[in-house]
Amino acid sequence: MDNFKRRDGLPMEFDGAEAAAGALNPDREPPQEEPARQYYFIEKCRQHVSEEGRRLGHPLTAAVITFGCQMNARDSEKLSGILERAGYVLTDSEEADFVIYNTCTVRDNANQRVYGRLGFVNSMKKKNPHKRVALCGCMMQEPSVIERIRTSYRFVDLIFGTHNLFKFAELLCTMYESDRMVIDIWRDADRIVEELPVTRKYPFKSGINIMFGCDNFCSYCIVPYVRGRERSRRPGDILGEIRALAAQGVVEVMLLGQNVNSYGKNLEHPISFAQLLREAEQIDGIERIRFMTSHPKDLSDELIEVMGSSDKICRHLHLPLQSGSTRILQAMNRRYTKEQYLALAEKIRSRIPDISLTTDIIVGFPGETMADVEETIDVVRRVKFDNAFTFLYSRRTGTPAAAMENQVPREAAQAGFDRLLACVQETAREQVARLSGQTRAALVEEVNPHDPSLLTGRLSNNIIVHFPGAASLIGRIVPVELLENHGFYFIGRMTP
């Protein structure tokens, strides 16, 4: 769970207010076109926020509480940008006057955590009736969730989904002008609205959505149902955003999509993800480019080539395996075999020898036996992942896998999970150990939260290093000698 709070001095990424000039007078009719319409509602919200702040005798505060993936984290930056522009002071405390939970529904325990937070925030709202609570994100695209909130969490003021996040300012206004729960959920998205305000968590690095939704329908995954069909942003809009970020001092960008390797296929003038990367690389000021997530079936030779010959694209590829058993991969609708995955990993490692390969693996998918888990362990040993995120299968209502009859009992899945985890940890430790004693460039991200004498930096291959240094180095890329290997991170020292 990440919270977004105000960091003074952070610039807004876009000044869409200029684009909307003349449309901001909240006493006029709202414009129809976007994003002018949303800037109009932001101004209107400012009035509500300042009136309520006057009435309560303090500036209104807002907290955005984020669950889930990088896409959600980026969406939360957009929510924060609108809240800040509407006059709220951002905080990370759920004590805030306005709390919005940006939810995730990929695994059931994420849903349970949200219900837990709602119970907690309800007790605060009883003491402070002026407090307002909103919910958005993937979980809200599930009709059963909306029904449950409508009946059991009646104190919630505003609910919206993933497809109309761009309308947040307008919905916020409706919330202020209504005495009922406001619910606005769209089944799909009909457009991508550009140039709304964003408040970034870090001044020196930023995520950038390059596409939304997913067309793959892996049989266990709820994402295509809650995030909709694949939609790519226009390359000009993406590159323009990267240029604007570079001008504001951003040195690292992370291009985000559920399946970035199929970027651009559905555009009016199709372009490949590798071509987009080539263009992004040309932008002065950007020193590192990351991306997330890659589907193995769509990873092209062109992309491997572009990565291999680039100084800016980070030496890290997250390539979800999910299972090493071809039989289970088929049932998962992943559309590659164990052998194809192994061949791809081999090709990547031979073209880019210093790359770090990480992965996601699910254990306990319907019908999975210990023999299937052994197949997965075989892949882990052969690919030597630098890290792997292992998950117990979570049954998501509405997906084909949830209806499969051969669900695996929890204890059997846990046994497979434990075996796999031991193997993953061993491989990752060996991989990380190979870096000991080397000097690598690290982007300094923050003062170490546990030891303020240390800075925390990230290597191109995504490994973390802690080392002594001054906070003024945050946002800079510095050479660090990797001295002590602690399994998944290093203690190091800066070199001249």
Q: Quick check: 224 binds ligand SF4 (CB under 6 A)?
A: yes
Count the neighbouring beta carbons within 10 Å of the beta carbon of residue 339: 10
Phi/psi at 8 (5° precision): -55, 140
Smallest distance from the beta carbon of 106 to ligand SF4, in angstroms? 8
Smallest distance from the beta carbon of 367 to ligand SF4, in angstroms? 18
Q: Quick check: 318 binds ligand SF4 (CB under 6 A)?
A: no
Smallest distance from the beta carbon of 218 to ligand SF4, in angstroms? 3
Smallest distance from the beta carbon of 407 to ligand SF4, in angstroms? 19
Q: Quick check: 216 binds ligand SF4 (CB under 6 A)?
A: yes
The site string for ligand SF4 over 337-376 (x = CB under 6 A, - otherwise) reads ----------------------------------------
Smallest distance from the beta carbon of 329 to ligand SF4, in angstroms? 12
Q: Quick check: 221 binds ligand SF4 (CB under 6 A)?
A: yes
From 120, 217, 389, 488, residue interacting with ligand SF4 (rule: CB under 6 A): 217
Smallest distance from the beta carbon of 491 to ligand SF4, in angstroms? 35
The smaller minimum CB distance to ligand SF4, of residues 85 and 295, is found at 295
For ligand SF4, which stretch binds (CB under 6 A), given 137-145, 216-224, 390-398, 479-487? 216-224
Q: How many residues bind ligand SF4 (CB under 6 A)?
A: 10
The smaller minimum CB distance to ligand SF4, of residues 214 and 242, is found at 214
Q: Quick check: 465 binds ligand SF4 (CB under 6 A)?
A: no
Smallest distance from the beta carbon of 368 to ligand SF4, in angstroms? 16
The site string for ligand SF4 over 94-113 (x = CB under 6 A, - otherwise) reads --------------------
The smaller minimum CB distance to ligand SF4, of residues 62 and 363, is found at 363
The smaller minimum CB distance to ligand SF4, of residues 233 and 295, is found at 295
The smaller minimum CB distance to ligand SF4, of residues 41 and 220, is found at 220
At residue 397, what is the residue type?
T
The smaller minimum CB distance to ligand SF4, of residues 258 and 456, is found at 258
* Residue 381 to residues 61, 282, 371, Cα–Cα distance (Å): 50, 37, 15
For ligand SF4, which stretch binds (CB under 6 A), given 25-33, 78-86, 221-229, 350-358? 221-229
Smallest distance from the beta carbon of 468 to ligand SF4, in angstroms? 40
Long-range contacts of 172-177 (CB under 8 A, 24+ apart): 172/41, 172/45, 172/48, 172/82, 172/86, 173/41, 173/44, 173/45, 173/48, 175/132, 175/134, 176/45, 176/48, 176/52, 177/48
The smaller minimum CB distance to ligand SF4, of residues 197 and 320, is found at 320
Token pair of 439, please?
């000097």
Smallest distance from the beta carbon of 221 to ligand SF4, in angstroms? 3
Smallest distance from the beta carbon of 211 to ligand SF4, in angstroms? 11
Smallest distance from the beta carbon of 332 to ligand SF4, in angstroms? 8
Q: Quick check: 328 binds ligand SF4 (CB under 6 A)?
A: no
For ligand SF4, which stretch binds (CB under 6 A), given 92-100, 153-161, 210-218, 340-348? 210-218
Alpha-carbon torsion angle 289, 292, 297, 303, nearest 10: 0
Cβ(492)–Cβ(482) below 8 Å: yes
Sheet hosting strand 316-318, strand order edge to edge: 316-318, 356-363, 387-392
Q: Quick check: 259 binds ligand SF4 (CB under 6 A)?
A: yes
The site string for ligand SF4 over 229-258 (x = CB under 6 A, - otherwise) reads -----------------------------x
Of residues 279 through 298, those in contact with ligand SF4 by CB under 6 A are 295
The smaller minimum CB distance to ligand SF4, of residues 216 and 431, is found at 216
Question: Applying CB under 6 A, which residues contact ligand SF4?
Answer: 214, 216-218, 221, 223-224, 258-259, 295
